[in-house]
Structure 1
Amino acid sequence: HGIESTEQHYIPFEWVRAKNVVKEVKPAIGSHVFLDKEMLLKLNPDIIFIDCGGLLLVAEDYYRKPEYYRTLKAFSEKRVYTLLPFNWYATNIGTALADAYAIGKVLYPQRFKDIDPEKKADEIYTFLVGRPVYGQMKREYQAIGSPPVFTLAEH
């Protein structure tokens, strides 16, 4: 759904006790929030995590309105990171857990200094599905916890 779509109770945030700036925004359905661009500017988060399931929509919007994205603190300070999608017909708990480790690595680098999110993802997948499948996920989307590819030209 693009940059305007998010969750108040995003489970990987809950697991690492991340501050979710949309907690105070009235949800549309359940805990799902659709923000207009003005509200996102008002909230102006320090860090933004983008679910790779909607990454193409965000990239298209980014190319159409680069000036908007430059006004967001997270984009201007290059604090935007990708996460693997874990909700598609059902919730993939393994991927949600891998995302939580990637979020922890970004938000709390000292506490997660010994964690490599990619290796941790494969540990989780091996435990749950019997083999390491992170490489497939990375090829399909991109590296967990990495800056979105469309922003790399500006680094």
Structure 2
Amino acid sequence: MKKGLVLLLVGTLVFSLFSSVCYAEQKIVDAMGRTVSIPDKVEKVICSGPGCLRLLTYLQAQDRIVGVDDMETRRTQFDARPYALANPQFKEYPEFGSFRGHDNPEQILVLEPQPQVIFKTYATMGHDPIELSQKTGIPVIVLNYGDLGGNRSQLFQAVRIMGQALGQDKRAEEVVAFFESAIQDLHDRTKDIPEDKRPSCYIGGIASKGPHGYQSTEPGYPPLAFIHANNVAYSTGLKGKALMHSNVAKEKIVDWDPEILFLDLSTLQMGDQAGGLYELKTDPAYAALTAVQKGKVYGVLPYNWYSRNYGSILANAYYMGKLIYPDRFEDVEPQAKADEIYSFLMGKGVFDIMNESFQHLVFKPVPVK
């Protein structure tokens, strides 16, 4: 009798220990301030919303996805998402919903294997994260995608939250340190250049939820801010949304008459008869600009493509620095620098692939005459 009781107690203890191992959980506080319970070891995930899979790739955990949104499976002439170009296998995964967070719970529930966690950026876009978790029974971790400007802390928080959930804390800190180091390097190279040695610049053609023409800009455009350039669209006192996407009047650009013009090559998506390049070539107002007359119009990597391309932002900053202040960037070869950045973030250089997609105009003078 006593022997049987002992065996029962031992068995119960073993089962309890086994269960605690199998069902071990960790608590994650997400960007909404919610405490989310997830498995202690997360091996299967999906990423919902603009830029979410980009962050997972930075953390070297892209092999843990079990599905993608339909942005990843599209086959188009243009693609300026380095994380996707470095991982063409994304196109072969099953879809769980539409882009911009429009997740389909039914599609998620038939994924095999099932995701243990859903990461979601831009929580107010597409499917509500709380409702999505209720419908699927899968925990949803909300992330603020942030930016490299005034919302940099949100980006770094997102990287760290995702890293904690995946057991990739060390890599998360490496990614944060990489961005901080690059931004500091750009600052140190240019911080003491006198105002009268900073030529006026303007960047046009920036995408925002799709391609735009040359009037589309960003007053707080980080690559120019990092190198203390004289961005004519920026003015002291601008804050928050005023620093983000803006369509400026053509007359304003003519009045500014910047010494150097940059063209965000995402505008080429608009075709041969529209977009920033077409406008610079055909509009008499732009034809009169000093930079157009002198051939000082230069192509740069797309800033936004399913949200902000953080690696390309750094690459553009080094190219712009080299162009505007060549003596401060003598050791930098922009194309090689771009692939150095991409290789760290995604394990592969993809500059040549993007350059080919964008008519070999990346980091080159753009023919507008």
Aligned equivalents of 1:99 and 1:144: distance in 2? 9
Query: Do residues 70 (structure 1) and 70 (structure 2) align?
Result: no
Match of 1:52 among 237, 251, 265: 265
Aligned equivalents of 2:266 and 2:251: distance in 1? 23
Match of 1:125 among 317, 335, 342: 342
CA contact (8 A) 2:214 2:277 kept: no
Aligned equivalents of 1:82 and 1:5: distance in 2? 15
Could you tell me how far 1:89 is from its partner in structure 2?
A: 2.0
State which structure, 1 or 2, has the greater radius of gyration over its C-alpha atoms.
2
Aligned equivalents of 2:280 and 2:259: distance in 1? 18
Instruction: Compute the RMSD of aligned alpha carbons.
Output: 2.0
The total of aligned residue pairs comes to: 149
- Secondary structure in 2 aligned to 1:89? coil
Normalised by the size of structure 1, how large is the TM-score?
0.87
Runs of 4+ that moved beyond 6 A: none
Match of 1:30 in 2: 242
Match for 1:2: what amino acid? Answer: G
- Secondary structure in 2 aligned to 1:85? coil
Query: Do residues 144 (structure 1) and 362 (structure 2) align?
Result: yes
Which range moved further: 84-93 or 17-26? Answer: 17-26
Q: Which runs of 5+ in 1 are unaligned?
A: none
Match of 2:227 among 13, 16, 19: 16
Match of 2:215 in 1: 4
Which range moved further: 86-95 or 100-109? Answer: 86-95
- Secondary structure in 2 aligned to 1:82? strand
Match of 1:115 in 2: 332
Aligned equivalents of 1:100 and 1:20: distance in 2? 13
Identity rate of aligned residues, in percent?
A: 36
Q: Deviations over 1:89-126 (max 9, x none)?
A: 22121110000011001110111122110011111111
Match for 1:30: what amino acid? Answer: A
Q: Which runs of 5+ in 2 are unaligned?
A: 1-211
Aligned equivalents of 1:86 and 1:3: distance in 2? 14
Match of 1:100 in 2: 317
Match for 2:292: what amino acid? Answer: F
CA contact (8 A) 1:117 1:144 kept: no
- Cα gap change, 1:76/1:63 in structure 2, threshold over 3 Å: closer, same or farther? closer
Match of 1:39 among 244, 252, 255: 252
Query: Do residues 80 (structure 1) and 297 (structure 2) align?
Result: yes
Could you tell me how far 1:143 is from its partner in structure 2?
A: 4.2
Q: Deviations over 1:60-96 (max 9, x none)?
A: 223432x322211111111111110031222121110
Match for 2:277: what amino acid? Answer: A
Q: Deviations over 1:3-53 (max 9, x none)?
A: 1111110011111111110113989x5322212221111111100111001
CA contact (8 A) 1:99 1:144 kept: no
